[in-house]
Structure 1
Amino acid sequence: MESTKNLPELINAVTSELLRLRYSPVTISKCNAVWQKLLSYTQAKDLLHFSEKLSESFLLEYYKYPADYSGEFPYGTRIALRAVRMLGDYQLYGIILRKRKKQQPSCPDGFTDAIRGFVLYSYQSRNTVKTVERKVFIVKCFIEYLTMQNVSTCSGINKQHASGFITSILGLKKITINQYLYKLGCFFRFLHSEGSSSVNLRMAIPQINDAKERRIPTVWSPKEKSVACPSHLILRIAYHILLTKEPYKELGTEYLAEREREREQRVIRQLQLKGYQILKVS
């Protein structure tokens, strides 16, 4: 990194770039918190410009990086590293370098129709676009495994293939494995319902014991729930008021209906981009 950029100007430029790239307000506020610490640090050192040496000494003094870490870094340290790296990238290249998206696994022709049908099935189940994309990614990973096992169609899938694929992902984190198992089970259920598989391979998927944490405990009494629900809503409203610095506005009864219409249009656009034709039946 070259020591040629005035730090306050650099911070303002990076903040503007983050806003242009539509980073979330939470991400920007976290980065700004780190940058303010860095600004105070440079002022105490009587420095004006950002440099690699400055960033290294700042991270060592404030976050003990890399001296005290031998394993995974704490969340706060990762945020600080990311914020400092943004400054360095922008000073060097004039842009904020972003992670390259993972390449989607390939899908042979024998599975194309099954993937398309599964996408429609998922949208009919009221899954969000993000959830459907994640499902398709996991199914394509499974199909890639099937290709290595010389399986070219859905009718050739058996329990041994499912078991072998599950064994191949056992090195992943527990939460990731649970996601794979659940979404793979959805795909197997779809294949069985469509007649593409004579056996319900969903039964070959191990049971997921870790249930999702509920927002409100089911053991609470109605009185406790009646107190917790409004309190939770008020806290969320207060959080957004503090975050956006804007007064509270009552959205009205049409808000939910409008959101539902927007969601419907978004799903339609996503399907049209993938080549589907949508006809509304009145």
Structure 2
Amino acid sequence: MTFYRRHWLKLLKFAEERSENYYSEHLGIDYIEKNFNILEKDFDGKLKQNEVQNLRVIRMLGDFQLHRTVLRRYYKHKQILHNKDFIKIINDFKKYCGQKSYSKVTVDHYSKHSAKFLDYADSQGITSCSQINLAITNNYIKTLARVYIQNN
């Protein structure tokens, strides 16, 4: 969080210098290009890992602006859920899939996607599956569509 906070403060100063009152990804990209010359390096295929991290700052701000939550895009740890009820649901789901004789690969695939959805729900203040509604589901689908478009 210290890393992101430091960049956000620099971005705020950059916006003030340009008399910008609102964040946009265009502003973020201009900030990245001015301070790190990343776009040129990206076109040349010469980006380093720390430079990619600078781009993530801009993406995270865009996510927060759009969804009012910071979304995970990089799952460093296998366990992404912290809500005990959601963890139990995923474990029960794995058992159900096993009883249906799904392959291990299929069970892992379904479980990971389900956990990502429940992680999103948790970030929206949802604490049980009974609170999940069509709006939450549609907003999650929008985040998936946005991630897919940005990565392709």
Q: Say which structure is richer in helix.
A: 2
| Superposition TM-score tier, normalisation by shorter sequence | 0.3 to 0.5
Q: Which has the larger radius of gyration?
A: 1
Between the two structures, name the one with larger relative contact order (CA 8 Å, sep ≥ 6): 2
